[in-house]
Amino acid sequence: MTRPTLADRNAQVVAPSTSRMRSIANELKEKGESIINFAAGELDFDTLDSLKKAAIEAIQGKCNTYTPALGEKKIREQLAAYISAELGVDYAWNEVGMTAGAKQALYNTAMVLINPGDEVIIPIPYWVTFPTQIELAGGKPVLVDTKPDNYKLTADLVSAAITPSTKAILINTPNNPTGAVYDETELRKIGELAIRHDLWIIYDECYSRLIRNGGRHHNIVSLIPQLKERTVIINSFSKSMALTGWRLGYSSGPVDVIKAMENLQGHTTSNPNVVAQVAVSKALDQSTDFITTANAILDRRLQVIQKALIHIEHLSAAQADGAFYVFANIQWFIGRQYNGKVVQTTDALVELILAEAKVAVVSGAGFGDSSGIRISYAVSDADVETGMQRLTEFFGKFN
């Protein structure tokens, strides 16, 4: 018996390595194993009560119907005012749109900007989804190793990667998986390059509000307002408001880009969840205290991680000034022995860490950089302590 084949594009798509590790950790936990989940990609604490209340009220108020594809106009107006105040650059309601998480905003962006064969410069290590989405749009990810430059794109690196086919530069700050935060000087230089070479900038700042130790996040359009016409900014309520499951992200950009996204989204998922739209709009002004508290907790946890990492011989980490990730360089351990057995790859190391230390971390392979593992500290203080003790013990057994 024969059967029609699946589409060729499936060859470009594998399940995100981050989700895979998270579900393995959760399955083991459900089986009663004492697993520390350093593979987490979301805050471990609950969202605001006022948000939940606003969602319940929205449901009780019969807020159940379709909305325009990129969200209710009134909420887009409110969001535009919020973004304008944050960036110090004016955005009108038709220059912003809501999506089912930042992931959809990024997918829309790839689909409306990229033609088959267009190149998009993406820094390595990258969040797992970036290259796949560009490929699905027919584009070609041009991957640029940022490890030698403190895990950040520089204008020199971008310059060396530009070809006549380059269409866009993707910047992700604060970065997943490294936690790196781009500084003003380099962002300005990259922005100037984009203008000189007539390129789009795709600016993923999903972790913009999660910044360590009083540091500062910079939006590239705030730095160079002239970039507004060639920049699509991607953000989300997922990470900073502990709302990953509600699926509410947004993008800001030129009117024609946002309109094209609206047309596309009208044919794919239509509007993002109406209850989430309404609830977030009611609680938007109360988010500041929540985020301040989250950052204080995350600062404390990062300190515990950094203190522990100092004592793990042969392991170093990128400077992590944002989000809730640390990217630890484990290159020394590959090809060396643990309990008499040689560990051949980073993926094998991660499996071994899970099996032996009962800690789930994510292999850098899925982020395009096998020299590292991602440690997430979006877990309880107690788990951060225990997890780091376990990792210290584990890495101490290599020879």
Report in angstroms how near the CB of residue 262 gets to ligand PLP at its nearest: 18
Residue of 96, 102, 122, 210 that binds ligand PLP (CB under 6 A): 102
Interface with ligand PLP in residues 231-260 (CB under 6 A): 236, 238, 244, 249
Q: Could you tell me the two tokens for 163?
A: 């070809």
Cβ atoms of 172 and 126 within 8 Å: the answer is: yes
Interface with ligand PLP (CB under 6 A), residue from 22, 103, 140, 282: 103
Which parts of the chain are beta strand (E)?
Answer: 36-37, 96-99, 119-124, 140-145, 166-172, 200-204, 231-236, 249-252, 316-317, 325-329, 337-338, 341-342, 359-360, 362-363, 372-376
Binding residues for ligand PLP, how many (CB under 6 A)? 13
Please, what is the end-to-end C-alpha distance for the chain in angstroms?
A: 54
Between residues 99 and 333, which has the closer beta carbon with respect to ligand PLP?
99
Kindly state the smallest distance separating residue 160's Cβ from ligand PLP, in Å.
24
Q: How far is the CB of 4 from ligand PLP (least distance, A)?
A: 32
Q: Which is nearer to ligand PLP, 44 or 204 (CB)?
A: 204
Q: Which two tokens stand for residue 297?
A: 């907790």
CB of 175 to ligand PLP, least distance (A): 7
Phi-psi region of 32 (alpha: psi -120 to 50; beta: other; left: phi over 0): left
Q: Backbone phi, then psi, for 287, in 5-degree steps? A: -75, -20
Q: How far is CA 193 from CA 130, 148, 153, 175, 373, in A?
A: 21, 21, 12, 21, 31
Is the CB of 102 or the CB of 232 nearer to ligand PLP? 102
Secondary structure letter of residue 232 according to DSSP = E
**Any contact of residue 204 with ligand PLP (CB under 6 A)?**
yes
Shortest CB 108 distance to ligand PLP, Å: 12
Shortest distance, position 230 Cβ to ligand PLP, whole Å: 20
Distance CA 169, CA 165 (A): 12
The C-alpha atoms of residue 393 and residue 357 are separated, in whole angstroms, by 8
What mask, x for binding ligand PLP by CB under 6 A, covers residues 126 to 165? -x--------------------------------------
User: Applying CB under 6 A, does 206 fall inside the site for ligand PLP?
Assistant: yes
Quote the least distance from Cβ 240 to ligand PLP, whole Å.
Answer: 10
172 contacts ligand PLP (rule: CB under 6 A): yes
| Choices 63-71, 100-108, 155-163, 255-263; region in contact with ligand PLP by CB under 6 A | 100-108
Torsion, Cα of 130, 136, 140, 146 (10° steps): 10
Give the residue, chosen from 17, 78, 133, 176, that forms a contact with ligand PLP under the rule CB under 6 A: 176
Q: Minimum CB separation from ligand PLP for residue 336, in Å?
A: 31
Alpha-carbon distance 13 to 136, whole Å? 8
User: In the complex, what is the shortest distance from the CB of residue 204 to ligand PLP, in angstroms, rounded to a whole number?
Assistant: 5
| Nearer Cβ to ligand PLP (236/370) | 236
| Chain residue whose CB lies nearest ligand PLP | 101
CA dist 333 and 371 (Å) reads: 10
Pairing of strands 166-172, 200-204: parallel
Q: For ligand PLP, which residue of 21, 37, 41, 71 counts as binding (CB under 6 A)?
A: 41
Q: Coil, strand, or helix at residue 77?
A: helix
C-alpha pair distances (Å), 102 with each of 164, 204, 364: 29, 8, 22
Q: Which is nearer to ligand PLP, 243 or 330 (CB)?
A: 243
Chain residues binding ligand PLP by CB under 6 A are 41, 101-103, 127, 172, 176, 204, 206, 236, 238, 244, 249
